[in-house]
Amino acid sequence: MIRLQKAVHGAFSVAFFFFLCQAARVLVEIFIPSSVVCNGSAAFGVHVPSEIGVIIGIASTIFFIAGWIFMGNEPRWEWPWIFLIAAGFSNLAERLFFGCVVDYIHISAFPVFNVADVLLTVGTVSLFLFFPRFSENDKM
């Protein structure tokens, strides 16, 4: 029963952050269309053929879901994986439906990015910060 509750909670959380990413994109496209950049390449404008980008997106999303499933029951592990899954789905959906990832946040000398990129960064940094440290007694 607890696993089912965890799965339902995780699914609703992923859906919430996925829709947050998409709502931000739609609002920017409506109210500030001049700030929208269609990024057909990979992160930070690195050129990658679109087919490879889709394959990488699918593989990453599967990896994120597997990480969330096998991460254990500690709450500190749950949110970083949820961020990664939602952001992965968001960027993957945009790449599949629009042929590119829509970026719209501009910060002077930094590459253009979007809310999903922020979630990916926060999720990744959180995983590294909370990664368990094993002592000599924990090793087998």
pTM of the shown model: 0.78
- pLDDT, tens digit (0-9, with 9 covering 90-100), for 32-53: 988 888 887 776 666 777 778 7
Residues 21-39 have a mean pLDDT of 91
Stretch (H or E) spanning 119: helix 115-130
What confidence category does residue 140 fall into, taking pLDDT thresholds of 50, 70 and 90? very low
Question: What is the average per-residue pLDDT within 96-117?
Answer: 86
Three-state SS string across 56-75, please? HHHHHHHHHHHHHHCCCCCH
Q: Residue 90's pLDDT band (boundaries 50, 70, 90)?
A: very high
